[in-house]
Amino acid sequence: MWSFDTEPAFQRELDWVRDFIRGEVQFLDELLGSAWNIHDEAFKKHVRPLQAKVKARGLWACHLGPELGGKGYGQLKLALLNEQLGRSRFGPIVFGIQAPDTGNSEILAHFGTAEQKKTWLEPLLENNIVSCFAMTEPQGGADPLQIETTARLEDDEWVINGEKWFATSAKYAAFFLIMAVTDPEATDPYKRQSIFVVPAGTAGIEILRDYTYLGEKEADHAHMRWTDVRIPRESLLGERGMGFAVAQVRLGGGRLHHAMRALAEATKCLEFTCQRVVSRTTKGQILWKHQMVQDKLADAWIQLRQFRLLVLETAWLADQNNDWHKLQQNVSAVKVMMSKVLHDISSMALHLHGSLGITTQMPFANHVMNSFMLGLADGPTEVHKSVVVKNMLKGVEPSTDQFPEYMADKSTARAGEIFNQQ
């Protein structure tokens, strides 16, 4: 039953992807700005032909099930694919599996009406448009119960008011999925929000400012204001008050894909470092022969392999039972590790490259910054660690005695009872 083999046919696809990313796609990272700027002439000229190659190979939008024209690969294969794509900022968009469009397409596929699917989902899957998921607000993203944006029903229209923060790709999006409070009186605080699909350009939607973080080429994360934005009643996705349940649909798989892309970034950092340590001499010795350097390299390799195994195990489990709820602990552990592993390995790579390592000629500072980004976006590390621990302690009973049952004296006495020895 246990096997770490990859099917030969799929391995051939992975090998093709690996060469394609390293031979062509990764050079787009130097050439182009935002990966969501699909109407830019340079995007059309350089990205569209590469996307055509992916389509011809049958690897386009692999996250989708066969009913939507995808391969139905499942999480394990998607994880292995993302391990290759993550080496390049443009990898995901060239393969039609970029965030936030993947998650948004899953929500539309699950909850959209036939008309919404035709209008939004079909062009989204072709990357003829891109989308935005607007949930976080300026007053606090890690606690989604602090959402203040409201949607109230007036006649046959929803009227939305509020502010959104760090809404990625807002300025390029053809539509938004927005989370707003519809049922403030609901006793369960997780049943107060709903998700809506809203066309960009609807009156009342404003981008106040776009933000960027160090290492990014363009400002793609919007602070938005929504003032009396009126949309038809049927713009609601899923049931009213079930916004969190609807949003969950996009999270599980997405976190694993991000994890494998982070693994790809860390692997790249380690590869570059390997070349550095066999090329440079200091104090009469090649760098890698210094034991403190070996200590760093060994830790990095071990950390990478452990992380890879955890992500692949989680992906495998997801394929077995298709129940993300049961995998909360694994997924949260993956979420915590992706930021730590990338942080540790990209910092080590930067350090071992010396002064060159901190220059903009090297990618390491960007990867370090990405590691911080991964630790706070989509729920900060602290919150995910809490999930790991809550799951770990589920069903663990406190000791009824001051001294635990596993003390040697008590164990010996119990052994005596079991084996009839006095």
Ligand X SMILES: Cc1cc2nc3c(=O)[nH]c(=O)nc-3n(C[C@H](O)[C@H](O)[C@H](O)COP(=O)(O)OP(=O)(O)OC[C@H]3O[C@@H](n4cnc5c(N)ncnc54)[C@H](O)[C@@H]3O)c2cc1C
Q: Which residues does 35 contact at the CB level (< 8 Å), separation at least 6?
A: 89, 90, 92, 93, 98
Q: Which is nearer to ligand X, 273 or 366 (CB)?
A: 366
Q: Which is nearer to ligand X, 254 or 379 (CB)?
A: 379
Q: Which is nearer to ligand X, 84 or 339 (CB)?
A: 339
Q: Which is nearer to ligand X, 245 or 373 (CB)?
A: 373
Pairing of strands 150-154, 157-168: antiparallel
Q: Which is nearer to ligand X, 178 or 352 (CB)?
A: 178
Q: Which is nearer to ligand X, 221 or 296 (CB)?
A: 221
DSSP 229: E
Q: Which is nearer to ligand X, 55 or 225 (CB)?
A: 225
Q: Lay out the site mask for ligand X across 361-400 (x = CB under 6 A, - = otherwise).
A: ------------x--xxxxx-xx-----------------
Q: Where is 72: in which H helix or E strand?
A: none
Q: Lay out the site mask for ligand X across 318-357 (x = CB under 6 A, - = otherwise).
A: ----------------------------------------
Q: Which is nearer to ligand X, 172 or 324 (CB)?
A: 172
Provide the minimum distance between the beta carbon of 165 and ligand X in the complex, in angstroms, as a whole number.
7
Interface positions, 164-223, toward ligand X (CB under 6 A): 166-168, 221
Q: Where are the alpha helices (DSSP H) in 24-87?
A: 28-31, 41-57, 75-85
13 is a site residue for ligand X (CB under 6 A): no
Provide the minimum distance between the beta carbon of 382 and ligand X in the complex, in angstroms, as a whole number.
3
Provide the minimum distance between the beta carbon of 305 and ligand X in the complex, in angstroms, as a whole number.
27
User: Over the range 365-390, which residues count as b (16 or more CB within 10 Å of their CB) and which as e?
Assistant: bbbbbbbebbbebbbebeebeebbee
Question: How distant, in Å, are the alpha carbons of 86, 297, 357, 360, 405 from that of 348?
Answer: 19, 8, 10, 16, 44
**Which residues, in sequence order, are bridge partners of residue 198?**
176
Number of residues forming the site for ligand X (CB under 6 A) = 20
CA 223, CA 221: separation in Å to the nearest integer? 7
Interface positions, 125-164, toward ligand X (CB under 6 A): 133-136, 140-142
Provide the minimum distance between the beta carbon of 409 and ligand X in the complex, in angstroms, as a whole number.
40
The answer to whether the beta carbons of residues 242 and 219 sit under 8 Å apart is no
**Amino acid residing at 311:** V
Interface positions, 82-101, toward ligand X (CB under 6 A): 100
CA 80, CA 66: separation in Å to the nearest integer? 19
The answer to whether the beta carbons of residues 381 and 387 sit under 8 Å apart is no
Q: Which is nearer to ligand X, 99 or 362 (CB)?
A: 99
**Which residues, in sequence order, are bridge partners of residue 403?**
none
Q: What token pair was written down for 192?
A: 């107060």
The residue with tokens 């070349």 is 275
Interface positions, 44-63, toward ligand X (CB under 6 A): none
Provide the minimum distance between the beta carbon of 51 and ligand X in the complex, in angstroms, as a whole number.
22
Q: What does residue 397 show for φ and ψ, rounded to 5 degrees? A: -90, 140
Q: In the complex, which residue's CB is closest to ligand X?
A: 141
Provide the minimum distance between the beta carbon of 190 and ligand X in the complex, in angstroms, as a whole number.
15
CA 190, CA 242: separation in Å to the nearest integer? 8
Residues that bind ligand X (CB under 6 A): 100, 133-136, 140-142, 166-168, 221, 373, 376-380, 382-383
